[in-house]
Amino acid sequence: MPTYQADAIVLRRLDYGEADRILTLLTREYGKLGAIAKGARRAKARTGSSLDLFGRSRMMLARGRNLDVVAQVERQGDVRHIAGDLHRTAYACLVAEVVDKVLEDRHPVDDIFALVVTTLGQLNDPERQPRADAAWFLMRILDLLGYVPQLQECPGCSRPLPEAAAWFSPLLGGVLCADCGSHEQSGSPVSVNALKVLRLMAANDAELFARLRLRPELLHEVEQALEAQLEYHLDRRLKSFDFIRSIR
């Protein structure tokens, strides 16, 4: 079988048969793809310990009829702080689920691969706030998909938005002014501070955002807007959001 190399991250894995694992991989070179790691669950398997969920490896894969086959794995770094923390694991699952839903098989997107590498690295850093890093990921993935919410002008009437409490509408794709906004509409309230944070995130000022210490109530407002925007455009509910809410 012809072989090829790939810089890969394990997004999902499923036990198969007596000793195999089926993997969903995000690769830099080939995008998202499925592969099987034969014998990976055996105690003496060379590849097993290198195929941790969310882990990054340099892989040698062989072309298969239905699934490609993992032939060799060279692990790069570790994800011990994600694996050892329920909340960090939950946010990493969110990253994996979103990427799995937005990418078609074997359609590489360099910016998305780089974003996933950065986000998982942040989630593996015990000094960082995983909740804030996950919110930043949501804004960046919306940006890459072309769905960044409208935060400077009202999407209902196109007038500039004042720095005032408002209403976020995923249907219209942004923050509505007082005249256009209504609590009867689908969406969520946005305070002045939440609007400022959303604008900072949309401007891609990662350095300033990393210095913020956001209160849980403020993060909740930001998350509500970004989650609603993403689910509206994906036209599906993401299981990871429900799980994160349940453990919070």
Same domain, 171 and 239: yes
Specify the CATH number for the domain of residue 48: 2.40.50.140
Give the alpha-carbon dihedral of 121, 126, 128, 134, to 10 degrees: 60
- Spatial CA neighbour of 222 closest among 125, 132, 91: 132
The three-state secondary structure class of 86 is helix
CB 19 within 8 A of CB 79: no
Same domain, 135 and 229: yes
- Answer for the pair 25, 9: CB distance below 8 angstroms, yes or no: yes
Do 134 and 37 belong to one domain?
Answer: no
User: 205 near 182, Cβ under 8 Å?
Assistant: no
CA–CA dist 60, 58 (Å, integer) = 7
Residue 115 lies in a domain: no
99 belongs to a structural domain: no
Q: With a cut of 70, say whether residue 1 has pLDDT above it.
A: no
Average per-residue pLDDT for the chain: 94
Spatial separation of the C-alpha atoms in residues 151 and 168, rounded to whole Å: 9
pLDDT value at 148 more than 80 = yes
What is the secondary structure of 16-53 as a DSSP string? Answer: ETTTEEEEEEEETTTEEEEEEETTTTSTT-TTGGG--T
Tell me the mean pLDDT in the region 201-229: 96
Domain count for the chain, please give it.
2
Tell me: do 27 and 134 sit in the same domain. Answer: no
Token pair of 72, please?
């060799």
The CATH number assigned to the domain holding 168 equals 1.20.1440.120
Reported as a single tens digit per residue, the pLDDT across 37-94 is 999 988 766 666 689 999 999 999 999 988 999 999 999 989 999 999 999 999 999 9
Could you report the per-residue pLDDT of 10-28, keeping only the tens digit for each?
A: 999 999 999 999 999 999 9
The predicted structure's pLDDT at residue 49: 65
Q: Is the pTM of this model over 0.85?
A: yes
Please tell me whether residues 65 and 134 are part of one structural domain. Answer: no
Same domain, yes or no, for 137 and 241?
yes
At residue 33 the predicted structure's pLDDT band, cuts being 50, 70 and 90, is: very high
Residue 59 lies in a domain: yes
Two tokens at 125? 């850093």
Q: How confident is the model at residue 48, as a pLDDT? A: 60
Quote the CA–CA distance of 110 and 54 in Å, as a whole number.
Answer: 17
Range of the domain at 57: 3-78
Q: 134 and 237: one domain?
A: yes
Residue 184 has pLDDT above 80, yes or no: no
Q: Which of 62, 78, 94 is the last residue of a domain?
A: 78
Give domain status of residue 49, yes or no. Answer: yes
Residues 6+ apart with CB under 8 A from 215: none
**Angle, helices 86-102/239-247, rounded to nearest 10 degrees:** 170
- Identify the pLDDT of residue 248: 83
Q: Is residue 136, in this structure, part of any structural domain at all?
A: yes
> What is the predicted pLDDT for the residue at 215?
96
**Eight-class DSSP state of 85:** -
The domain boundary, picked from 78, 101, 118, lies at 78
- Note the pLDDT of residue 197: 98
Measured between alpha carbons, how far is 105 from 134 in angstroms, rounded to an integer? Answer: 24
- Do residues 238 and 144 both lie within one domain? yes
Q: Are residues 64 and 137 in the same domain?
A: no
